[in-house]
Amino acid sequence: MKASIDSIETFGLVDGPGIRCVVFFNGCMLRCKYCHNPEMWQRREDNYTIDEVFDKIMRCKPYFRETGGVTFSGGEPLLHAPFIIELCKKLKEEGIHTCLDTAGVGFGNYEELLKYIDLVLLDVKHTGKEGYKDITGSELGEVENFIDACNKLEKKIWIRQVVVPGIMDNEEYLDSLVEYLKHIDNIEKIEFLPFHRLGREKYIKLNIPYPYEDKKDMDKDKCNELYEIFLTKYKASK
């Protein structure tokens, strides 16, 4: 069995707890306007076997210590579920922590994969149907099936919310996010990530129009202020 993998980062520090080996899979059904990895949208030729990825991860194992491990990212790793399941079976024999960085949009039947995942990093694209469709180009719906599977298996979840100026930087959206998160169990952490234009050059090289040409980078201090406002609302709702 092979999978289409763009790259493997061996010392990731922002994709889950501790030092992590991050596997970036090609292919995604969404076309998020703020995506900074458009080169991974298309699934290219399968280029890695399970054993090849396992061997690369095992070389990193001494650096994982108590908190590190492997994160499956992309693109959308859910599109490679059979490959990840078989890889995780080997990783679990080595006691390696596994993390799934996902938008929650795959081909369904998520429970089998989630059995082998210790932590889910779930990207919230937008809380409303119209906003979700505008940002991703897809209907809001499949991610709900993924969330249901996470809840059923009591998976630990970190929420990630990209804050785009003019869209998420207002109290109305923060209120909607508080309500949206009420149906997600076992949330351990919520992160606000300020929108940035660092991926713009990739769009230009790929001859793809950059969707947020009119947007400026989200001010980090403003993003932190919004997070504190959100956190107060979120805690009050519990």
E strand or H helix at 132: helix 129-136
Which residues lie closer than 8 Å to 222 by C-beta, 6 or more apart?
A: 169
Average pLDDT over residues 9-19: 91
What is d(CA 74, CA 39) in angstroms, rounded to the nearest whole number?
10
Q: Which helix (DSSP H) or strand (DSSP E) does residue 2 occupy?
A: strand 2-3
Question: Per DSSP, what are the bridge partners of residue 9?
Answer: 22
Q: Report residue 227: phi and psi, to 5°.
A: -65, -40
Percent of the chain with pLDDT over 90: 95
What local confidence, expressed as pLDDT, does residue 12 receive?
86
CA distances from 5 to 60, 77, 197, 215 (A): 18, 10, 24, 30
Question: Percentage of residues in the chain with pLDDT exceeding 70?
Answer: 100
Q: What is the pLDDT of residue 129?
A: 96
d(CA 100, CA 172): 29
Q: Report pLDDT digits (tens) over 163-180.
A: 999 999 999 999 999 999
Whole-number Å distance between alpha carbons of 147 and 54: 28
Question: What is the C-alpha separation between 10 and 20, in angstroms, rounded?
Answer: 7
Q: Residue 238 above 90 pLDDT?
A: no
pLDDT at 151: 98
CA distance 63 to 108: 34
**Cα dihedral sign for 183, 190, 120, 124?**
positive
Contact 197, 215 (CB under 8 A): yes
What average pLDDT score do residues 15-27 get?
96
Q: Could you tell me which of 106, 95, 28, 14 has the C-alpha nearest to residue 62?
A: 95
Q: Which amino acid is at 41?
A: W
